[in-house]
Amino acid sequence: MRRPKPDDLREWCYPFIYETRLTCDYEILTDELCCHIGVVLSMLPEEFADIRADLEQLQPLIYNLNGSVRGKHGIFEEDIEWLKARYTYYQQASEGRVTGFVLPRGPAPVPQLHLCRCIGKKIVRMLVRLEQEGRKFDETLPRFANVLANFFFVLTVAIKHRQGVTEVPYISINY
């Protein structure tokens, strides 16, 4: 049963909140990611001006990602190329620091960026589910979301490298 729009709009937090399709869940995930980036920005030391600028540019792109499933398409090839270039910039700056799995820890905002990375993966998975549900969207969305999750990881490595924090390897007993 679909709930009706309440008479008192204070009892209605989002226009699609009672929808049963996964589109609303996807939009909430992308919104959550954008909020987490706001937390990271509030904790980012002043000496990380390049990271601050990239995250500030990324927030609107994540809201473009948000609206691209229900509304007009908003993630383009140039957005993916920009994000890949920024990924490469941070990866090259900390080349060789990570050669396997590492534990997601470190000084703030590293743990928060690891949470962003996890939400990025959830967004990719939600896009898989939306496609399975029959939703049509441009192929740039899952591509951008995958690069996004990887970008957050490389930021954690770059921040720890700049701060002289050692990565803690994780050796799996499972694989």
- The more confidently predicted of residues 6 and 173 is 173
Instruction: Tell me the per-residue pLDDT of 66-124, one tens digit each, with 9 for 90 and over.
Output: 999 999 999 999 999 999 999 999 999 888 888 788 999 999 999 999 999 999 999 99
User: CB count, 10 Å around CB of 129?
Assistant: 13
Two structure tokens written together for 121: 């993966």
Closest CA to 141 of 124, 120, 117: 124
CA separation for the pair 142, 121 (Å, rounded): 10
Virtual torsion, Cα 133, 153, 76, 132, nearest 10 deg:
-10
10 vs 58, residue with greater confidence:
58
Domain boundaries, the chain: 22-68+77-87+103-163
Instruction: Name the pTM for this structure.
Output: 0.93
State pLDDT tens for residues 122-141: 999 999 999 999 999 999 99
CATH superfamily for 22-68+77-87+103-163 is Cobalamin adenosyltransferase-like (1.20.1200.10)
Maximum distance among all alpha carbons in the chain? 58
Whether 164 shows a pLDDT value over 90: the answer reads yes
Distance between first and last Cα of the chain: 45
| Structure-model confidence comparison of residues 148 and 16, the more confident one | 148
Percentage of the chain modeled with pLDDT above 70? 99
